Amino acid sequence: MYDRHGQLLYASVAEDEQWRFPKMDSVSDKIEHCVLHYEDEYFHYHPGVNLISIFKAFALNLKKGDVKRGGSTITMQTIRLLHKNPPRTYSQKLKEVFMALKFELVYSKKDILAYYVSNAPYGGNVVGIEAAAWRYYQKPSQALSWSEAATMAVLPNQPSYIYPGRNQLLLLKKRNALLKKLKDNNVLSEVDYLLSLDEPLPQRVFPIPSYAYHLASEIDHSLGKISTTIDLRIQKSVTDILEMYHNSFKQNLIQNLSAIVIDANTSEVIAYVGNTKDSVDGNRVNMIRRPRSSGSTLKPLLYAHMLDAGTISPNTLLQDIPIDINGYEPQNSSRRFDGLVPAHEALERSLNIPWLLALKKYGYDKFYTNLKDYGFHHFTKSSKHYGLSLVVGGGEVELLELANAYLQLSHKLKGVELNLASFELGKKVDVKRNIKLSRGSIWLTFDALSNVVRPENEDNWQYRQSQKIAWKTGTSHGFRDAWAVGVNPNYVIAVWVGNADGNGRTNLTGIQKAAPILFDILNTLPKGKKAWYDKPIKELKHVLVCSESGSKPTEKCQSIHIEIPKNAELKDDCPYHTKIYLDASQQFQVRKLCFPEDSIVEKSWFKLPLLEESYYKLNHPLYRSLPPFHPMCLSLELDMLDVVFPKNNAHIIRHSSEVSNQIVFQAIHRNKDARVHWFIDNGFILTTIGEHKIIWNPTKGRHRLTAQDSEGNMKTIVFFVD
């Protein structure tokens, strides 16, 4: 298997355990001179048979009473090689004479010589001069020196007796004799002759290059010689990077890594490293084609489709609060909540809760169809089976599929037709993809992904001329898979780290393990023609949104201009701005029924639900909660108290043993000094002040929980214990 420039990438032994390359297309001048001067000086002058040589050999053998000389031409020797070296008899020799004459009528001298050097034995299990050149000199036959070519020419004469590492004096004598003959015939100059005599003989065999074992497993071996789209320099670089990280990761029992690099202009795969080089721990498994949990790598696709649908703008606030999905309580990787977070920031930080709730709004069945359009073919069950987990790794994807998905986005943004390439040079895959996205939504998505904070070793990347890239990481449940995928106008890079057997490991996350590899690969790639994508100005439009919520503005909120896809229409009005009434000092809320109307000030207020507010204000010190009510207007207030856990109608699973079955109930109150009284099944439990948490050991069945403050505000929920 060869790279795009004709350099050897990989070779494997034939079925008979011989190193044998396909027939050479051409033979170098050095090899031709050496072989002909040693084996058949009159090769270009006879019709396939040299009668003089045959008669001389017959006379000598008759005189000695044994076969001492064959008299065969290169054409006759080629006939013997192609017929697996039948026994040497006079009748066989006669057959070879007639076959050689016929062979010369069909093939040119150039082809016959190529057949000969491609099938001659070179010692051990090495057949053909190309395999021999790699095994003995680590280079292609075209690059052999005069001394090396002369050594190769004399080896087939006695391949089982004379070969590198054995009978060196005899091999040296034969080589030097041939070099002298070349000098005497004015093929070699005196200087070249003397320099060639000083070159050492090969002492051992070398391994043949094996830079693409896993790619070879994807290609039909019966093709023999294959030219691929791989760039050997980049393939070596990516391999070295993966091996460097592997040596570090395996100390934590992380054994397998894979990476793929695609030329984003031609769609051609230029680096394909399916796994590490170790011979154990699943190294032979091609992890580029092995389906694994996608982690968070599909969130950008949901973001782009929601932008196009007008379901969100880049600034839309998404909920980031504790949720319960049929007993499953998902978490962000930070184990923290923001209450509300802008959509572009939720993508950049790869938060889980906002995108689970966003997918619920968009529709998991619709997103399931979108993913099918990209060519993900391991989503084999119904959309209902995956549900909201589609966006956080509930389905499996291949690394190649993931890279191709981001490649499709890149092509769409450039406005060019997708034309996926085969691994084999010059071949295209007839694949039709119809991703229903606008260029505007892809631009906004890539813009957000280009702002993702890079790993520590990429600090100040702008000042080191590092390439700009839109990138995303992913981590599967249980720390089994770490992903990183990046795209710019020139390249798509995708990386996977984990264990082929599925074992999870601590700290096996996309940002810690896969992202540094992605950027090390990026920094070794040649700079492309375009630093970044052209902005599709005609595919975007400016709209007014609420400055704080990013939703459609109302008369209650201030507006700012942002860009959204041209055909998108934002659907939801801002839900967080409301009109409130304040006293003249604007320190207290009032109501018209309980306060002099001429002393009332009307004001628009950014008001969040109690649960969202409790988390939001921790990260936004400028956020202002609603002022308290004026003493003249104290009464039952709405939205003063809420239960954080459990949610209404939640099902709590109790372990059959008595270990860790206590539940921590939690509530929040707008007044930090409020007293909250707790009741379960109408029975009083206790009163809390400040931090409102209680611990209770539940019994099986349906329960009713009530939290009530001293002013009569209350919240009641029902939950079940199984």
In DSSP terms, 157 is beta-bridged to none
pLDDT digits (tens, 9 = 90+) for 370-402: 999 999 999 999 999 999 999 999 999 999 999
Q: Are 35 and 103 contained in the same domain?
A: yes
Residues 680 and 624 in one domain: no
Half-sphere exposure of 192 (CA within 13 A, CB side): 16
**Residues 49, 183 share a domain:** yes
pLDDT value at residue 449: 96
Give dist(CA 614, CA 692) in Å, integer: 13
Residues in the chain: 722
Rounded to whole angstroms, the Cα distance separating 686 from 691 reads 13
Contact 357, 629 (CB under 8 A): no
Q: Pick from 150, 84, 170: which is nearest to 119 by CA?
A: 84
Shared domain check, 128 and 86: yes
- Spell out where 159-305 has E strands: 256-263, 269-273, 292-293
Whether 512 maps to a domain, the answer reads no
Residue 418 inside a domain? The answer is no
* CA 594 from centre of chain: 65
Give the per-residue pLDDT at 637. Answer: 56
* CB-count exposure of residue 314 (10 Å: 0-12, 13-18, 19+): buried
Q: Are residues 83 and 133 in the same domain?
A: yes
153 in any annotated domain: yes
Q: Is 215 helix (H, G, I), strand (E, B) or coil?
A: helix
CATH number, domain containing residue 93: 1.10.3810.10
* Integer CA distances (angstroms), 263 to 218, 520, 533, in order: 19, 17, 15
671 in the same domain as 587:
no
The verdict on 713 and 582 lying in the same domain is: no
Are 26 and 54 in the same domain? yes
Residue 608 placed within a domain: yes
The answer as to whether 697 is a domain residue is yes
For the chain, which ranges sit under pLDDT 70? 53-71, 88-90, 160-163, 221-223, 279, 326-327, 430-432, 456-465, 634-638, 656-661
3-state secondary structure 60-83: HHHHHCCCCCCCCCHHHHHHHHHC
Distance (Å, rounded) from C-alpha 10 to C-alpha 443? 39
* CB proximity list for 306: less than 8 A, separation 6 or greater: 312, 343, 358, 362
**Amino acid 462: pLDDT:** 47
Classify residue 451: in a domain, yes or no.
Answer: no
274: which strand partners? none
**Contact assessment for residue 511 and residue 473, using Cβ atoms and an 8 Å cutoff:** yes
Report d(CA 678, CA 692) in Å as an integer.
Answer: 9
Q: What does the alpha-carbon distance between residue 162 and residue 395 come to, in Å, rounded to a whole number?
A: 59
List, as one string, the DSSP characters of 285-318. Answer: S-TTSS-EE-TTTTHHHHHHHHHHHTS--TT-EE
Q: Which residues, 6+ apart, have CB-to-CB distance to 346 below 8 Å?
A: 318, 320, 354, 355, 358
388, 325 contact by CB (below 8 A):
yes
Reduced to 3 states (helix: H, G, I; strand: E, B; else coil), residue 31 is helix
Supply the range of the domain harboring residue 184: 19-198
Cα torsion 553, 557, 558, 562 to 10°: value is -30
Q: What pLDDT score was predicted for residue 636?
A: 45
Over residues 193-208, the pLDDT tens digits come to 999 999 999 888 899 9
Do 624 and 645 fall into the same domain?
A: no
Domain boundary, last residue among 157, 177, 198:
198
Q: What is the CATH number of the domain that holds 683?
A: 2.60.40.10
Phi, psi of 475 (to 5 degrees): -135, 130
Does any domain span residue 231? no
Which of 177, 198, 219 is the endpoint of a domain?
198
Under a CB-based contact definition with an 8 Å cutoff, are residues 505 and 499 in contact?
Answer: yes
Are 87 and 170 found together in one domain?
yes
**How far is residue 298's CA from residue 320's CA, in Å, rounded to a whole number?**
19
57, 173: one domain: yes
Q: Single out the residue in 165, 198, 231 at which a domain terminates.
A: 198
Distances (CA, A) of 635 to 495, 591, 598, 599: 60, 11, 21, 20
- pLDDT at res. 329: 78
Instruction: Give the end-to-end CA distance of the chain in Å, rounded to a whole number.
Output: 60
- CA-CA distance, 262 to 710, in Å (whole number)? 65
Instruction: Please name the residues in contact with 427: beta carbons below 8 A apart, sequence gap of 6 or more.
Output: 421
The position carrying tokens 């890239």 is 469
| 501 belongs to a structural domain | no
Question: Are the beta carbons of 58 and 45 closer than 8 angstroms?
Answer: no
Residue type, position 666, single letter:
Q
Counted domains in the chain: 3
